[in-house]
């Protein structure tokens, strides 16, 4: 309507000439805008591919650490249960790569380690650990994504994840005990999940937040959040 109003009152020949120039310029801008949109789309797809590749490499590294770190305990079950070295890479994988990768690494780690090194014993320890570690990876990934990337929220994500994983471990052990000759009770749950694991819990609460904060400061993780915060502040 604005274009028609503009051309009203102009002689026919001049109006037709101006209208032709206007339409030519308008039609020429359409491919240009399409190219810009296509370029932005290609750039977004490339960034997504790079991010997926980065997460895949980091997840593979975390899985490799799950294979190696238990050797620090001499593969002695009592020391391994106390320090839980395999938990550290899985929890970090959730923070760094997100919940799908944390789920995969957490579930595969004890099963793969049993196949390679014979530890942990697949039944019932390995099966229960697979569900426990998968819960760690999912919980840390989801909570870290949803919450602001502050130090208190990192601790909240970690503590809630550790509690959730231990609850899942207790549920799986109860199911296994119900269908087999494995003994499991509330006392054994509290001892295995908290009392005997206290050195590992303290170690994880000290070590993992330090690593996550260091990675944030290096803009290796969490940079999307800070970019969004800075953009909102500028606006």
Lowest mean pLDDT among 17-26, 99-108, 186-195, 212-221: 17-26
pLDDT for 97-143, tens place per residue?
A: 999 999 999 999 999 999 999 999 999 999 999 999 999 999 999 99
Using alpha carbons, list the distances in angstroms from residue 177 to 106, 171, 186, 194, 195: 22, 10, 12, 19, 21
SS3 content of the chain, % helix, strand, coil (to 5): 85, 0, 15
Helix axes 99-117, 87-97, angle to 10 degrees: 150
Q: What is the mean pLDDT of residues 20-34?
A: 51
pLDDT at 160 over 60: yes
Task: Check pLDDT > 70 for residue 221.
Answer: yes
- State the chain's mean pLDDT as an integer: 84
CA–CA gap between residue 18 and residue 234 (Å, rounded): 41
**Which residue, among 139, 105, 98, 106, has the nearest Cα to 221 in the 3D structure?**
98
Nearest by Cα to 95 from 222, 185, 232, 223: 222
pLDDT at 233: 39
pTM of the entire predicted model: 0.79
- For residues 57 and 81, the answer to whether their CB atoms sit within 8 Å is no
Question: What was the pLDDT predicted at 48?
Answer: 81
Q: Which pair of structure tokens corresponds to residue 133?
A: 């570690």
User: What are the chain's domains?
Assistant: 49-234 (1.10.1760.20)
- Cα 82 to its chain centre, rounded Å, is 26
Question: What per-residue confidence (pLDDT) applies to 87?
Answer: 97
When pLDDT is averaged across residues 17-41 and rounded to a whole number, the result is 53
């Amino acid at each position: 309507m604005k274009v028609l109003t503009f051309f009203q009152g102009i002689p026919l020949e001049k109006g037709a000439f101006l209208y032709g120039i206007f339409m030519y310029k308008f039609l020429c801008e359409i491919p240009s805008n399409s190219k810009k949109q296509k370029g932005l789309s290609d750039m977004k797809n490339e960034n997504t591919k790079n991010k997926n590749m980065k997460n895949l490499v980091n997840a593979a590294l975390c899985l490799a650490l799950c294979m190696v770190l238990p050797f620090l305990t001499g593969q002695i079950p009592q020391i391994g249960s106390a320090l839980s070295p395999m938990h550290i890479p899985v929890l970090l994988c959730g923070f760094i790569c997100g919940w799908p990768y944390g789920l995969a690494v957490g579930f595969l780690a004890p099963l793969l380690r049993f196949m390679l090194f014979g530890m942990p014993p697949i039944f019932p320890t390995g099966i229960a650990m697979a569900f426990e570690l998968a819960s760690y990876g999912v919980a840390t990934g989801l909570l870290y994504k949803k919450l602001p990337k502050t130090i208190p929220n990192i601790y909240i994500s970690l503590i809630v994840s550790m509690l959730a994983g231990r609850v899942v471990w207790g549920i799986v052990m109860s199911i296994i005990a119900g269908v087999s000759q494995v003994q499991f009770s509330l006392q054994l749950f509290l001892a295995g999940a908290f009392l005997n694991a206290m050195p590992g819990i303290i170690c994880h609460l000290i070590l993992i937040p330090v690593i996550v904060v260091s990675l944030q400061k290096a803009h290796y993780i969490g940079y999307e959040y800070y970019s969004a915060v800075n953009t909102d502040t500028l606006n």
